[in-house]
Structure formats: structure tokens, C-alpha cells
């Protein structure tokens, strides 16, 4: 079974980068505790203010359920709050 990959591109003002990175461990802990089918994530810096979050899910239904929950836990909310602009969000199947 192929995993589902979520690709989220966003902007963070350089002055907020430290807040984003500081919030990341708690966000990942909340995902592990609360998001069925969460397999892992990688955060890639694309430029001074642009980032790509690559998140692996067991199935597309797990990603959909996670999106429905939004920022339901403190660690997730804090990470999301550091984001200034959502550029794009896509999903696909890993081959």
C-alpha cells in the first residue's frame, strides 16, 4: 500500500522563524498522540521566508481526518500561529 504524502508550502517572516522551529517538536508530539495514520514529517526551508512541510500518512483518509481536526491541540496551534501565509497544499501517493 502506497503512503499518502502531504506537501504544504507556506511563508514565515524571518523574525518568526525561531518561533516556528521552537514550536515544531510539540507539534510533532501532538500529531503522534492525536493523528491516526501519521507516519512522520520533514520541514524544508526553501528560502528566507518560504518553507515546505512534507508529511507522510498511512492513507488519504488519515490526512482528511487530520485536516478536519485543524489546530485542536496546543502544540499544533502554536506551530500554525507562526505561519504568516499558506501558499499551497497538495497531496499525492508515494510510488
| DSSP codes of every residue in 49-80 | SEEEEEEEESSHHHHHHHHHH-S-SHHHHHHH
Q: What is the number of domains present in the chain?
A: 1
Domain holding 66, by residue range, is: 4-89
* Residue 49 forms part of a structural domain: yes
For 31-57, how does the pLDDT look when each residue is reduced to its tens digit (9 = 90+)? Answer: 999 999 999 999 999 999 999 999 999
pTM of the model: 0.94
- Please say whether the beta carbons of 37 and 80 come within 8 A: no
* Residue 95 forms part of a structural domain: no
- Please say whether the beta carbons of 77 and 71 come within 8 A: yes
CATH number of the domain bearing residue 8: 3.30.70.100
In the predicted structure, residue 74 carries a pLDDT above the cut 80 = yes
Amino acid at each position: 500500500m502506497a503512503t499518502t504524502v502531504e506537501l504544504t508550502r507556506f511563508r514565515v517572516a524571518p523574525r518568526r522563524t525561531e518561533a516556528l522551529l521552537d514550536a515544531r517538536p510539540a507539534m510533532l508530539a501532538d500529531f503522534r498522540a492525536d493523528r491516526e495514520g501519521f507516519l512522520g514529517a520533514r520541514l524544508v526551508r526553501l528560502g528566507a521566508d518560504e518553507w515546505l512541510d512534507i508529511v507522510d500518512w498511512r492513507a488519504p483518509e488519515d490526512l482528511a481526518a487530520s485536516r478536519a481536526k485543524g489546530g485542536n491541540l496546543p502544540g499544533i496551534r502554536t506551530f500554525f500561529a507562526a505561519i504568516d501565509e499558506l501558499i499551497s497544499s497538495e497531496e499525492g501517493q508515494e510510488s
